[in-house]
Chains A and B, each alone.
Chain A
């Protein structure tokens, strides 16, 4: 349900999904392929978590055309990214850059893995205490009864 609702919201904002229109496609196949790859990493700024490659919103279309124009003009992928970040801020990148503000984001996976590994190894090395839990008074009584029954 929750899964669906955000997608629904995304679609309400983005309209029905068709994304890349036939008239946008570049003649040059290698350029078009690069354009698609770049588009998949750029956020449609008015949508919810959709790339401009997936979105049907007008802004996404404008951005797709813009990316293609830059590529045709001879920009490298890097230059297209820089151009868009200058214009729209880092918000446009679906994969944030590595920097002071994203340190925690990028390092958490490695951090958890290494700390967890060390923790698990340390726990393995430590000799555990006695294996069985002690019986409480009630259970002692039951056990005694059972043993007595066995003897009879």
Chain B
């Protein structure tokens, strides 16, 4: 019954979205406040319906209702509670439902932010949002219905894919989707501005928090996915340039560019047309990611051709929204007036360069991901584009961007002085270069990439913090004054400095992987394996039985420089229902590095194959990403961006609002 109600609520949401699409759009044209007011009410009603529908599906999972096909295919009565919940979005149908739920959630928040968003802009924005909701609700209801019943109901379900039964995977998709779908708001605002034909710094101020929030969540989502791959896939890699990873990296790169270009637009009223285009492209790339993954086109061009229903539908959505918005752009953008003059050497100029490099990096990932598909469709020729291609092309684009980052952050707005800026960074240059030379001298012919990369990371971290120091401390001033000044700096300045320092930390973590050591060997109980300064001893291999899987557990004692550090367990796991084996790595964190062991098959002579790694500073890769997202979050709390506190903002006298 609840399942049918959930299904009905989804259909109702479709009807309501239609109203939310048509009426406000008309209202905005006719300048009728009553019709425009339908938009927020509609958005909240759609949210309520989709939320109800999502809860209904969740209940079906919690009760192991095996009369629902989706539950049968992805659940099992013996599955732990947390995976019964995360199983809701651990499959195609459910994940699409989560997608529209988050879309509706964002719509709801825009609806509640009525005091900070002008009515017309809000009405148009929510109408565009509704159009996206309609498309995806239609997709779910016609091709991917999670509420389909099965008769007769089987006694037991087929269990969730074992790889998805992991706490990391329980939260990874929601984070990623909040990021993906969050960009739909920037997109809707951009389209609304184009429909209205007006765009200014106020628009940028309204849009910026949404973009920033979406970006921070996408950063977290990608980092989470990367760490999951690292510990779960068992060979210690953390980024594979897999098309599916690229699908999330492209919107991230475009979104990063967007976050920066809205700064220019907000502060200097420049780069308007580009910012609008970027907002459209960023969400288009999110849609492209959805198409790539959901259509099956990645597995094989042929599998797409064989079962084209879902793929064709999403392709249709893709063409409709990307084509539609770009047409709107081509028609309206020439009417937008450019403002804000600036010299090439200036903060604006540096941010233009930032956008140029990020856009090129994004284009590189785009062509690398889609080229093999296009080539096969057009000529039948099959080629592979993998990690070696991306490493070769991506690095030369990212390194200059990173080298410019502290310089750009230090340059003045409007007209900067390159030499003066470089002088403000001389201490940072000095320390970074000294550190690099010291590491090169110390490592005796190790990989050169590691010291160079770590030097770059140090330069980034110090360069970012330098911005805070030079803006709050002047020679001879007491520290207490400097501290007070630093605390008085806008949160967005702190946020930017912290996020950029996070980039530096990630760079250090990535560069240090060149120092990693790997040993492959076979060991018997009592024998040892060595990787760098670390050693493990295989104690014993024991079987263990859990509710829905069986483990062969290898218990290892870890030694570091002769000292015993503790024990870790690494497992070969077999999920009983699907008969699918997985590897669970054994990981011990030592400082910021990790000792990482995974076992393979038992060999003919009774020994067991083992891969042992020592990965110095590896945690910095993800810590850096967390810091980046935290910087974005801090920037969100900046007074001028606060969305939900209009009354408080009014109470502050204008002079208290920092000029920057």
A4 touches B298 (CB 8 A): no
A116 touches B359 (CB 8 A): yes
When each residue 1-17 of chain A gets 1 if its CB lies under 8 Å from chain B and 0 otherwise, what string results?
11111111111100111
Q: Within 8 Å CB of A94, what residues of B?
A: 384-389
CA–CA, A3 to B172, complex, Å? 10
Known: A8-B164, A95-B392, A128-B339. A21 touches B247 (CB 8 A): no
8 A Cβ contacts from B515-540 to A: 520-522
Q: Within 8 Å CB of A108, what residues of B?
A: 363-364, 367
B233 touches A17 (CB 8 A): yes
Known: A95-B388, A108-B363. A9 touches B299 (CB 8 A): yes
A83 CB-CB contact with B under 8 Å: no
B229 CB-CB contact with A under 8 Å: yes
Which of the segments B286-294, B586-594, B622-630 contacts the partner chain? Answer: B286-294
Which of the segments B406-414, B474-482, B576-584 contacts the partner chain? Answer: B576-584
B240 CB-CB contact with A under 8 Å: yes
8 A Cβ contacts from A120-149 to B: 120-121, 124, 127-133
B293 touches A17 (CB 8 A): no
B198 CB-CB contact with A under 8 Å: yes
When each residue 88-116 of chain A gets 1 if its CB lies under 8 Å from chain B and 0 otherwise, what string results?
01111111100001101100110011001
Most buried by A among B222, B241, B292, B356: B356
Known: A3-B247, A17-B234. A120 touches B352 (CB 8 A): yes
B397 touches A18 (CB 8 A): no
Chain B residue with Cβ nearest A92: B384
Write the nearest CB–CB distance from A2 to chain B, whole angstroms.
3
8 A Cβ contacts from A18-62 to B: 18-23, 25, 40-41, 43, 48-51, 54
Partner of A116, one of B173, B243, B356: B356
When each residue 184-198 of chain B gets 1 if its CB lies under 8 Å from chain A and 0 otherwise, what string results?
000000000000001
B200 CB-CB contact with A under 8 Å: yes
Q: Within 8 Å CB of A7, what residues of B?
A: 163, 229, 233, 240, 242, 244
Q: Within 8 Å CB of B363, what residues of A?
A: 108-109, 112
Chain A residue with Cβ nearest B200: A133
B379 CB-CB contact with A under 8 Å: yes
CA–CA, A92 to B388, complex, Å? 13
Q: Within 8 Å CB of B235, what residues of A?
A: 17-19, 54
CA–CA, A105 to B379, complex, Å? 15
A117 CB-CB contact with B under 8 Å: yes
Write the nearest CB–CB distance from B139 to chain A, whole angstroms.
15
A90 touches B237 (CB 8 A): no
Q: Within 8 Å CB of A120, what residues of B?
A: 352-353, 356
Write the nearest CB–CB distance from A42 to chain B, whole angstroms.
9
B650 CB-CB contact with A under 8 Å: no
CA–CA, A108 to B371, complex, Å? 11
Known: A2-B290, A3-B247. A124 touches B344 (CB 8 A): yes
CA–CA, A17 to B89, complex, Å? 25
When each residue 367-409 of chain B gets 1 if its CB lies under 8 Å from chain A and 0 otherwise, what string results?
1100100010001011111111100110001000000000000
Chain A residue with Cβ nearest B578: A12
Partner of B382, one of A4, A48, A89, A132: A89
CA–CA, A125 to B304, complex, Å? 47
B340 touches A131 (CB 8 A): yes
Interface size on B, residues (CB 8 A): 86
Write the nearest CB–CB distance from A53 to chain B, whole angstroms.
9
Q: Within 8 Å CB of B233, what residues of A?
A: 7, 11, 17
B389 touches A95 (CB 8 A): yes
A101 touches B397 (CB 8 A): no
Partner of B169, one of A4, A101, A130: A4
CA–CA, A101 to B522, complex, Å? 44
CA–CA, A6 to B243, complex, Å? 8
Chain A residue with Cβ nearest B336: A133
8 A Cβ contacts from B39-53 to A: none
8 A Cβ contacts from B597-612 to A: 598-601, 603, 609-611
B172 touches A1 (CB 8 A): yes
Known: A9-B299, A109-B363. A101 touches B379 (CB 8 A): yes
Write the nearest CB–CB distance from B25 to chain A, whole angstroms.
19
CA–CA, A136 to B341, complex, Å? 24
Chain A residue with Cβ nearest B387: A94
Partner of A101, one of B353, B357, B375: B375
Partner of B356, one of A8, A15, A48, A117: A117
CA–CA, A87 to B54, complex, Å? 51
Most buried by B among A90, A105, A121: A105
Chain A residue with Cβ nearest B371: A105
B603 touches A133 (CB 8 A): no
Write the nearest CB–CB distance from B97 to chain A, whole angstroms.
12
B393 touches A109 (CB 8 A): yes
Known: A6-B244, A18-B609. A128 touches B341 (CB 8 A): yes
Partner of B172, one of A4, A20, A21, A113: A4
Write the nearest CB–CB distance from A85 to chain B, whole angstroms.
11
8 A Cβ contacts from B334-352 to A: 337-342, 344, 349, 352
CA–CA, A48 to B240, complex, Å? 11
Write the nearest CB–CB distance from A143 to chain B, whole angstroms.
15
Write the nearest CB–CB distance from A17 to chain B, whole angstroms.
4
B176 touches A1 (CB 8 A): yes
Q: Within 8 Å CB of B289, what residues of A?
A: 2
Could you name 18 residue pairs across A and B whose Cβ atoms are closer than 8 Å?
A2-B290, A8-B164, A10-B242, A12-B580, A18-B599, A19-B611, A20-B520, A48-B298, A48-B299, A49-B240, A94-B387, A94-B389, A95-B388, A124-B342, A124-B352, A128-B339, A128-B340, A131-B340
Residues of A within 8 A of B (CB): 1-12, 15-23, 25, 40-41, 43, 48-51, 54, 89-96, 101-102, 104-105, 108-109, 112-113, 116-117, 120-121, 124, 127-133
A sample of 20 more A-B contacts (CB under 8 A), given A21-B520, A116-B356, is A3-B229, A3-B242, A5-B293, A6-B243, A18-B235, A18-B599, A22-B610, A23-B603, A48-B298, A89-B382, A94-B387, A96-B389, A101-B375, A102-B383, A113-B357, A116-B360, A120-B356, A124-B352, A128-B339, A130-B337
